[in-house]
Amino acid sequence: MVAILGFSKDQITAAVQDMYAQVATDPTQYFHFPVGRAAALALGYPQAEIDTLPPPVIDRFAGVGYPFRANVIKPGDTVLDIGAGSGADALLARRRVGEAGKVWALDITPDALAQLNGTLREFGIANVETIEANAETIPLPDNSVDVVTSNGALNLVPDKRRAFAEIFRVLRPDGHVQLADVVIARPVPLGGRSDPQLWAECVVGAAIDDDYIELFREAGFADVQVLNEADYFAESPSPDTQRIASALGARSFEVAMRRPSKPATPTLPARLARRLNPKRLARIGDRGLWGVAAAALSILACYGTIAILGLLSLLGIGVALDEGLWALTITAMAALAAIATAFNLPRHGKPWPIMMTVLAAGVIAYVMFVAYDPLLEALGFVLLVAGVGFDVHLIYQAECVPKNREDGALARPTSRLGAGIKATRGLD
């Protein structure tokens, strides 16, 4: 994936590096997400563990959960921390592996690694080593670590399938993964993923929860369990972030899984069956794209049919066409596009897309059943496309665009993390 909808991996990486360089440089400045000791406590880190961390480390904590709830790290293990940041989880992992173990702290942000390296030198910690790299290309040998841990980093990775395959590769057979990450319940509206800044703010890069779990299973992992969930974004001091997170059903969760000694990746038919699940088809509506789909079918029914008939005629093949049924199909699809924009009205509150698509459907119906005019027909389709396109744009504006990024003076809301935590549940 080089570029999608105007953004590139390099742009995303630069935005993420800039965001977390600011955390490393000055954790006291305003961020849309909670930072520091209070954030760690709210997410479930025991006070006793936090007290073992050097102040520069805990002050820069920016995780989204408590991955150690999985309790899979043993003395002597080799651990890889993906997205180590300030090093809080790397140092807590070091306490668990002991002097006989090893911790690799991987991150893409040079400033964060420089801060962590300074802490390691100051406290004489020898069995934690930093790596500047991304999760899509982990510079470690195959089967070289016992546990992979990560906290709020994988949602920032554009190619999650490749990252999960890399995690599988570096793990030893029967190795474990413990992680906390951000997931969403509804897909990001079209256009939402085109803003690298929104990737850095942890929301639009997140995967849908079921898809996230399924990607790990496709990579070969077994015993995938969600241990805990929390309304992480309730802790954000930014009303914009809370609004966007709420619109997408964003939250954090903690997951544990294992690389089996004999991995059994799903077969191609099984993967296809899961991807054709009706729940996935429903996401077309979640993205506000039923109108786009109906408009496309209307245009295809009109001009696509003409193109096919013309091609068949050139080949000397005659085909009888029921023109009444043909016109009815074209008009019905245009009407469905108008109906779809009406269903999207509550998402943005603007009547203009409905007005445009209803007018377009009327023009198309007039051309089909009253008086045919090719220019008027083309105008109707142009208006239909403009209407559904404007509808999608308004959904993006309403649900993904921050109204005021510079809201640092706003007070932090009361924490609701505790209320958002759900009971432990397994997904296998």
pLDDT of residue 54: 93
pLDDT category of residue 411 using cuts at 50, 70 and 90: very low
Only one residue has tokens 């590096």, namely 17
pTM summary value? 0.77
Q: Residue 405 above 50 pLDDT?
A: no
Q: Is residue 416 very low, low, confident or very high in pLDDT (cuts 50, 70, 90)? A: very low
Q: Which residue has the higher pLDDT, 377 or 425?
A: 377
Structure tokens at 254: 């903690």
* Cα distances (Å, whole numbers) of residue 13 to 16, 22, 88, 175, 204: 5, 14, 22, 29, 14
Average confidence (pLDDT) over 13-39: 85
Q: What does the CA dihedral 364, 367, 373, 379 come to, rounded to 10 degrees? A: -10
- pLDDT tens readout for residues 281-318: 667 777 788 899 999 999 999 999 989 988 888 888 87
pLDDT of residue 134: 92
At 195, the pLDDT band (50, 70, 90 cuts) reads low
- Write down the domain spans for the chain: 3-279, 288-306+318-400
Q: What's the whole-number mean pLDDT along residues 331-343?
A: 95
Give the residue-averaged pLDDT of 64-82: 97
Percent of the chain predicted with pLDDT > 90: 58
Q: For 241-250, how does the pLDDT look when each residue is reduced to its tens digit (9 = 90+)?
A: 888 888 888 8
C-alpha to C-alpha distance for 103 and 270, rounded to whole angstroms: 37
- 3 or 87: which leads in pLDDT: 87
Dihedral (Cα; 135, 136, 137, 139), 10-degree rounding:
20
Cβ–Cβ < 8 Å for 156, 202: yes
At residue 396, the pLDDT reads 81
The Cα 217–Cα 267 span in angstroms is 11
Backbone angles phi, psi at 180, to 5 degrees: -120, 140
- The reported pLDDT for the residue numbered 147 is 98
pLDDT category, 319, cuts 50, 70, 90? confident
- pLDDT value of position 193: 59
What's the pLDDT band for 427 if we cut at 50, 70, 90?
Answer: very low
The C-alpha atoms of residue 378 and residue 374 are separated, in whole angstroms, by: 6
Q: For 105-147, how does the pLDDT look when each residue is reduced to its tens digit (9 = 90+)?
A: 999 999 999 999 999 999 999 899 999 999 999 999 999 999 9
Q: What is the pLDDT of residue 266?
A: 67
Fold of 3-279: Rossmann fold (3.40.50)
Q: With 70 as the cut, is the pLDDT of residue 239 above it?
A: yes
Q: Does the structure show a pLDDT above 70 at 17?
A: yes
Please give the pLDDT value at position 379.
96
Instruction: Please write the tens of the pLDDT for every residue from 359-396.
Output: 999 999 999 999 999 999 999 999 999 999 999 989 88
